[in-house]
C-alpha cells in the first residue's frame, strides 16, 4: 500500500479511468472499511484497477461554528487499518495547501431543490463544499468507480446527480449503513458520545422506525406525524433538526405506493447525529 501526499505523486501512480475510489475525511471505522471492501469487489484486479482511499478533512463543508478544528485527524491509525484489511492500494492524504493551493473561488453549486432541503437547510453551503471537493478529487483520481455510504443518504443522491449531470465517466456505488450490534449507525462523531449517550443515541433510529410504522399502519398526515416524532425526541433530551418521510428517488414528500426513506438529524448533547432507514 502506497501513502501519497501530493497531486504529482498521485497522478504518476494512476492511469485514468481505472481506479475504484473511496473519498473519506479519515478517522476511519468499520463502516469506512466496508466501503473499501466494496470498492475492491467492484475492482477485483488490483493490477489494472487499484483501490484508492483519500483522507482529507474538507474545510469547505464545515460551517464556522462546526467542528472542523477538533475533527479527529488520525492518519497513522487510518493507514494501519487499511494496511491490515489489505484491500487498499493507494492512500491519498494531501494537506490543505496541496488540495487548495489558492482560495477555492470556483465551486460546484448543486441545485437548490435537492441541496437546500434537510441537511442543506440546517447546514447552508454544506453540499457546495462536498460537491466541490469530490469533483476536484474525481479530477485528480479519475476513477472508474466511486463508493459512498448510504448513511449520508442525501449526500449520496446529490453526488449521483452531479456525476450524471456533469457527464463524468464514473459509476457511483452506495454502501449499506453499518451498525453496532445494538443498532447505532457507525459514525466518526460517535466517539464524542459518552457511554450513556451511546445507549441513548439508539432513540434516533427508533424514532425513524416509529415513523415508518405509522405510515405502514395507514396514517397519512405526514406533517403531523413528523412534528409529533420531533416532539417525542425533544422530550427525551434531544435537539432535533428534522425527522421526515421522503421518497427515495428524489427526497420529495412521501406518497403512497412509492419507496420511502425516513431521515433524521438531531443533536444529543453537543454531538449532531444523522440516520436514515429505507422502506
Question: Which positions are annotated as active-site residues?
Answer: 32
What residues have CB less than 8 Å from 65, skipping those under 6 apart?
A: none
Q: How buried is 195 (Cβ within 10 angstroms: 0-12 exposed, 13-18 middle, 19+ buried)?
A: exposed
Instruction: Report the C-alpha gap between 91 and 175 in whole angstroms.
Output: 19
Secondary structure (DSSP) of 129-177: HHHHHHHHHHHHH--SEEEEETTSHHHHHHHHHHHHHTT---EEEEEPP
What residues have CB less than 8 Å from 115, skipping those under 6 apart?
A: 127, 128, 158
Amino acid at each position: 500500500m502506497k501513502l501519497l501526499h501530493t497531486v504529482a505523486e498521485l497522478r504518476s501512480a494512476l492511469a485514468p479511468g481505472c481506479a475504484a475510489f473511496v473519498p473519506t475525511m479519515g478517522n476511519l471505522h468499520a463502516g469506512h472499511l466496508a466501503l473499501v471492501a466494496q470498492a475492491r469487489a467492484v475492482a477485483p484486479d488490483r493490477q489494472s484497477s487499484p483501490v484508492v482511499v483519500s483522507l482529507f478533512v474538507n474545510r469547505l463543508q464545515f460551517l464556522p461554528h462546526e467542528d472542523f478544528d477538533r475533527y479527529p485527524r488520525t492518519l497513522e491509525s487510518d493507514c494501519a487499518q487499511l494496511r491490515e484489511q489489505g484491500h487498499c492500494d493507494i492512500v491519498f492524504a494531501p494537506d490543505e495547501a496541496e488540495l487548495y493551493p489558492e482560495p477555492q473561488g470556483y465551486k460546484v453549486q448543486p441545485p437548490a431543490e435537492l441541496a437546500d432541503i434537510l441537511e442543506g437547510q440546517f447546514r447552508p453551503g454544506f453540499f457546495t463544499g462536498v460537491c466541490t471537493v469530490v469533483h476536484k478529487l474525481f479530477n485528480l483520481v479519475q476513477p472508474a468507480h466511486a463508493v459512498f455510504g448510504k448513511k449520508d443518504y442525501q449526500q449520496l443522491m446529490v453526488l449521483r446527480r452531479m456525476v450524471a449531470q456533469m457527464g463524468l465517466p464514473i459509476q457511483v456505488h452506495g454502501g449499506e449503513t453499518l451498525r453496532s450490534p445494538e443498532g447505532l449507525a457507525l459514525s466518526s462523531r460517535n466517539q464524542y458520545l459518552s457511554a450513556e449517550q451511546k445507549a441513548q443515541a439508539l432513540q434516533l433510529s427508533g424514532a425513524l422506525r416509529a415513523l415508518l410504522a405509522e405510515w405502514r399502519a395507514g396514517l397519512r398526515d405526514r406533517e403531523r406525524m413528523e412534528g409529533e416524532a420531533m416532539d417525542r425526541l425533544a422530550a427525551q433530551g434531544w435537539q432535533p433538526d428534522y425527522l421526515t418521510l421522503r421518497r427515495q428517488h428524489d427526497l420529495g414528500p412521501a406518497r403512497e405506493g412509492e419507496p420511502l426513506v425516513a431521515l433524521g438529524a438531531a443533536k444529543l448533547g453537543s454531538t449532531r447525529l444523522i440516520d436514515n432507514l429505507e422502506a
